[in-house]
Amino acid sequence: MACLLGALRLTLEAEEPLLAEQLLSTLEAVLAEGAARTPPIAPSGVTQGDVTFLLAQVASPVVKSSPRLLQLLMRVVPFLTLTDEAKMEVLIGHFKRQLNFSRFDLEHTADDDVQLECFCNLSAGIERNDNGNRLKQLLVSRGIVQSAIRYLLVYAPPAK
């Protein structure tokens, strides 16, 4: 896993979107297979720094200009946090600024829009299994779901 992540890092740093897409597709397949096993096979050699690096790539011009690359990145990152709450915390912490919905309404940048969209895509793609449930439970315990519900209750237009 560390070898694939190292190669992915190099392709992203070299701004090679096609190679990065191919590597992300391969990573997604390998990680999905490991996650589907009982018990799941956690990816080895993945550090919090790897998760942080990949999340930071959302802001890079190469990734932002490639919807497919962005989508693949948001599919792969949750798999990298598999069974590791500290990595899940890194993932959630990355989006914390955009998840303050009232502040987001008052002031946000185009990059904030991209980050929030990425969080939505990432959330929609969380696996429907025990591993995905752990990440979902962490999102609930950190108050993110409750915050979103409160925001919607206050600001959503009334039903007709």
Query: What is the number of helices (H) and of strands (E) in the chain?
Result: 10, 0
pLDDT value at position 54? 97
The candidate with the shortest Cα–Cα distance to 8, out of 20, 22, 17, 16, is 20
Tell me whether residue 76 is exposed, middle or buried, using C-beta atoms within 10 angstroms of its C-beta: 0 to 12, 13 to 18, 19 or more. Answer: buried
Cα–Cα distance for residue pair 116/101, rounded to 1 Å: 10
Tens-place pLDDT, residues 32-85: 888 887 777 778 889 999 999 999 999 999 999 999 999 999 999 999 998 899
Query: Who's near 138: CB < 8 A, 6+ residues apart?
Result: 85, 88, 89, 92
pLDDT value at position 89? 96
Residues 7-15 have a mean pLDDT of 95
Q: What is the pTM of this model?
A: 0.89
